[in-house]
Amino acid sequence: MNNEKVNKVNKSTEVDELSNDYPFSIVHKPIGRVDAVGKVTGKMIYAADFQFDNTTFASPVYSQYSHALIKNIDVSGALKVKGVITVLTAKDVPGSNLFGTEIKNQQIFARDKVRYYGDVVAMVIAETENIAREASEKVKVKYEPLDAVFNVREAMKKDAPKIHDDGNVAFEHRVRKGDIQEGFGEADIVLEREYKTQFVEHLYIEPESVSAKADWKGGVEIYGSIQNIFSARKTVSSALNISLNKVRIVQTPLGGSFGGKDEIMQALAARAAIAAIKTNRPCKIVYRREESIRESYKRHPYIIKYKIGAKKNGKLVALKVEIFADVGAYEATSPFVTWRSTVQCAGPYEIPNVHADVYGVYTNNTYTGAMRGFGSPQVNFAIESLIDELAEKLNISPLEIRIKNGYKDGSITTTGQVLDHKVSLMECLDKATRAINYHSKKREYMKFNKKSKVIKKGIGLACSYRGCSLGAEGKDYAGAILSIQSDGSVILSSGIAENGSGAQTVLSQIAAEVLGISMNRIRFLETDTSTTVDSGPTVASRGTLMGGNAVKKAAEYAKNTILNVASKILETSPDNLYLKDEKVISKTDSQIFITLDNVIEKCVKHNVQLCFFGWYTAPEVDWDKERGQGKAYFTYVYGCNIAEVEVDTETGKVKVTNFVSTHDVGRTINPQTAQGQIYGGVAMGLGYALLEEVEMNNGKIVNDNLDEYLIATAMDMPEITPIFVENPDIAGPFGAKSLGEPATEIVAPAIINAICNAIGRRIYELPANLEEVLLGKKLRKK
């Protein structure tokens, strides 16, 4: 079936759908979210609300050491507690106790060795949650403590304690572009700087929760707050040693995830499933906040070393990069996170000579993994700070240096890729600086700061490019099923999960637009491994781009069927018909039409197939690992953020007073949910810049609850102006690209650059908390 041609043809005017004049009905409109009522009325069933009849409850038993051998586990004390049903350990795992994305070195239950305080040694299963928790303290574990290491530099030393058998450098990535020696030879100025970033907690409002039940077919059914149900299924299947089709995982609505409910939920789902099979009763796990923070992975702390060379006129000629990422106890998605950092290490700047080495290093800290931005917030903070400082040294403006070096159409990236799409970085810079009155604000604050002693004001900008979707780090595909019922209602599903960003709404809008139907005809199914099609993980800001393309394909097949059937009734060619407002209408005479319901009635009567499957595979990418060169992603988004701040130089307190966030998203499918992404992204980025840090004391988390782990609240938020630049992308559904992660990835450097502009001193370490701003060095308890 070839529908590729049909989809480019517009309803009546033959306007290409990538054109800004395309007469959209549903897409590109601020349609209300399909899950809004359920959420605001409290009717939505979250994982903790969900319960199987006759369920048991579970409590984890955590490691008491950051690094130790397990000599003996004595569960007898716990078993004696009334109401305890069983206690699970690694011995109870019927299949593989190990799991992981690339290297399977993470444990469902720690067996011989613990590598961080969040390792789970055992799990008590009891009649109530309280009994389980009480009894979990009676599990006695004998350890032989090992030397531990908590810092990447120490961990890289030859004689450092080995966390895994193969040594502590888990992996490395590199870029070799041009000739770094030659590049620095041409430089008039060379700057060398080191930046540090912190551990950050996702702090999804809903802590981890999952329920599992054995079914009578020898499989399990699992409901949980799980970001990636297909990766969870893989782990459960290998842990139980049963085939994938015997594991059914249903995603309950996520109360936040931000990349965080992957590996940890794989482990929880497996533990609950093992319990369910062993006891022949359902098992439910609901974490407390302290457990969530203790066990879950964090955003990687980085040590970033940059050496940059430029000509007097500001032209960048060479960049040398060394990055050390703290991987913590287990690898998880670290190779992929740091690969993105590698590709984007030079920011959106065309530098002819780049040499980068990026190392992932094991420590006995909490392991690190995917978190909104996925490797870009760290390098964006560093490169955007560096570019600002370089501009200052060269006495040119931060804007000018970015205009001079920033990517334009046809630029060659750090990985040697020629940008063959519309490169909108300059447009983003232009729109953002105009919207905030960048130049006049800069002058105004300079004057203000001359007079004002205590309060200083500043403005700062940051920009970025970001590869859309998984890129050369993974296979990129997505599927969707669209099934028209006999009454004309539509069931739509995709393996793309609703992470809270509005994916179900946006994907429904795409189907509604293609079919010319209203949103309330469509019901979007819960993501379920048994009824929806594996569409890869819902990560990497790929939901709209990948899922949208799959949905669009399915809807276009449906549209072809409808037009074919209608063409027979209306006695005209299908090419002469279009779908709009629940009707099939003639392009030549709008008085000639038939209602969609009538067409569907006909289809039902004549047994016409009304279930459609859309499958989308992303355009080719390629990667040369040795040189770190290749087409890393098939397309990119561009953005510019500008922050204004007021700094109290007596207390170090920073108030962000205004924020403009500009992003080229290709096309907004829903401008309102897109704005939501920006508001949330700015809040998260602001926390990263000023407040957030998981304090790790010899591997033990000090601030393990919301009283001490501070995130931004409404009180901290400035006025935010979201601005969308729309250059529809050939690969995107209706031209749409990505926004979820771009929205947060350059917030921190914009704020940091604004602070530096205000106080006249650079900041090299996140977060810029009171101590950092006041004294420029850390006063933390170590």
Instruction: State yes or no: residue 259 binds ligand MOS (CB under 6 A).
Output: yes
Residues 664-683 close enough to bind ligand MOS by CB under 6 A? none
Collapse the DSSP code of 322 into the 3-class scheme (helix H, G, I; strand E, B; otherwise coil) and give the result: strand
Instruction: State yes or no: residue 737 binds ligand MOS (CB under 6 A).
Output: no
Q: In whole angstroms, how close is the CB of 466 to ligand MOS at the nearest point?
A: 11
Dist CA 630 CA 651 (whole Å)? 48
Q: In whole angstroms, how close is the CB of 471 to ligand MOS at the nearest point?
A: 11
Q: At 645, phi and psi to the nearest 5? A: -135, 160
Q: In whole angstroms, how close is the CB of 373 to ligand MOS at the nearest point?
A: 7
Burial of residue 162 (number of CB atoms within 10 Å: 0-12, 13-18, 19+):
middle
Dist CA 58 CA 284 (whole Å)? 6
User: How far, CA to CA in Å, does 657 sit from each of 531, 651, 663?
Assistant: 48, 17, 20
Q: In whole angstroms, how close is the CB of 386 to ligand MOS at the nearest point?
A: 24
Q: In whole angstroms, how close is the CB of 369 to ligand MOS at the nearest point?
A: 8
Q: Among residues 203 and 461, whose Cβ is nearest to ligand MOS?
A: 203
Q: Which tokens go with 341?
A: 């950092």
Q: Among residues 328 and 416, whose Cβ is nearest to ligand MOS?
A: 328
Q: Among residues 299 and 631, whose Cβ is nearest to ligand MOS?
A: 299
User: What residues contact residue 159 under an 8 Å CB cut-off, 6+ apart?
Assistant: none
Instruction: State yes or no: residue 516 binds ligand MOS (CB under 6 A).
Output: no
User: Minimal CB distance to ligand MOS: which residue?
Assistant: 259
Collapse the DSSP code of 569 into the 3-class scheme (helix H, G, I; strand E, B; otherwise coil) and give the result: helix
DSSP 8-state class, residue 312: T
Residues 272-311 close enough to bind ligand MOS by CB under 6 A? none
Asked if omega into 767 is within 30° of 0 (cis), the reply is yes
Q: In whole angstroms, how close is the CB of 527 to ligand MOS at the nearest point?
A: 14
Contact (Cβ atoms closer than 8 angstroms) between residue 511 and residue 548: no
Element (H, E) at 6: helix 4-7
Q: In whole angstroms, how close is the CB of 202 to ligand MOS at the nearest point?
A: 9
Q: Which tokens go with 623?
A: 């990667």
Q: In whole angstroms, how close is the CB of 259 to ligand MOS at the nearest point?
A: 3
Q: In whole angstroms, how close is the CB of 536 to ligand MOS at the nearest point?
A: 11
Contact (Cβ atoms closer than 8 angstroms) between residue 716 and residue 684: no
Q: Among residues 503 and 540, whose Cβ is nearest to ligand MOS?
A: 540
Q: In whole angstroms, how close is the CB of 539 to ligand MOS at the nearest point?
A: 3
Q: Among residues 259 and 460, whose Cβ is nearest to ligand MOS?
A: 259
Element (H, E) at 262: none
Q: In whole angstroms, how close is the CB of 227 to ligand MOS at the nearest point?
A: 6
User: Look-up: residue for tokens 């004391």?
Assistant: 697
User: Look-up: residue for tokens 């040795």?
Assistant: 626
Q: Among residues 226 and 555, whose Cβ is nearest to ligand MOS?
A: 226
**CA–CA–CA angle 684, 685, 686 (5° rounding):** 90
Residues 525-584 close enough to bind ligand MOS by CB under 6 A? 539-540
Q: In whole angstroms, how close is the CB of 729 to ligand MOS at the nearest point?
A: 19
- Give me the amino acid identity at 80: K
Give the distance from CA 426 to its chain's centroid: 25
Contact (Cβ atoms closer than 8 angstroms) between residue 148 and residue 117: no
Q: In whole angstroms, how close is the CB of 337 to ligand MOS at the nearest point?
A: 8
Q: Which tokens go with 18?
A: 């990538």
Q: Among residues 371 and 463, whose Cβ is nearest to ligand MOS?
A: 371
Q: Among residues 465 and 593, whose Cβ is nearest to ligand MOS?
A: 465
Residues 354-393 close enough to bind ligand MOS by CB under 6 A? 370-372, 374
Q: Among residues 141 and 337, whose Cβ is nearest to ligand MOS?
A: 337
DSSP 8-state class, residue 544: I
Q: Among residues 62 and 339, whose Cβ is nearest to ligand MOS?
A: 339
Interface with ligand MOS: number of residues (CB under 6 A): 7
Burial of residue 156 (number of CB atoms within 10 Å: 0-12, 13-18, 19+):
middle
Dist CA 450 CA 433 (whole Å)? 23
Q: Among residues 226 and 515, whose Cβ is nearest to ligand MOS?
A: 226
Angle between helices 596-605 and 548-570 (to 10 degrees): 80
Q: Among residues 371 and 654, whose Cβ is nearest to ligand MOS?
A: 371
Contact (Cβ atoms closer than 8 angstroms) between residue 548 and residue 510: yes
State the DSSP string of 617-654.
EPPP---BTTTTBS---S-EEEEEEEEEEEEETTTTEE
Q: In whole angstroms, how close is the CB of 174 to ligand MOS at the nearest point?
A: 22
Contact (Cβ atoms closer than 8 angstroms) between residue 415 and residue 629: yes
User: How far, CA to CA in Å, does 150 sit from each of 70, 115, 140, 700?
Assistant: 20, 11, 26, 10
Q: Among residues 324 and 374, whose Cβ is nearest to ligand MOS?
A: 374
* Sheet of strand 593-595, all strands in order from the earlier edge strand to the far edge: 577-580, 583-586, 593-595
Q: Among residues 260 and 488, whose Cβ is nearest to ligand MOS?
A: 260
Q: In whole angstroms, how close is the CB of 101 to ligand MOS at the nearest point?
A: 12
Collapse the DSSP code of 722 into the 3-class scheme (helix H, G, I; strand E, B; otherwise coil) and give the result: strand
Q: Among residues 187 and 370, whose Cβ is nearest to ligand MOS?
A: 370
Residue ranges in contact with ligand MOS by CB under 6 A: 259, 370-372, 374, 539-540
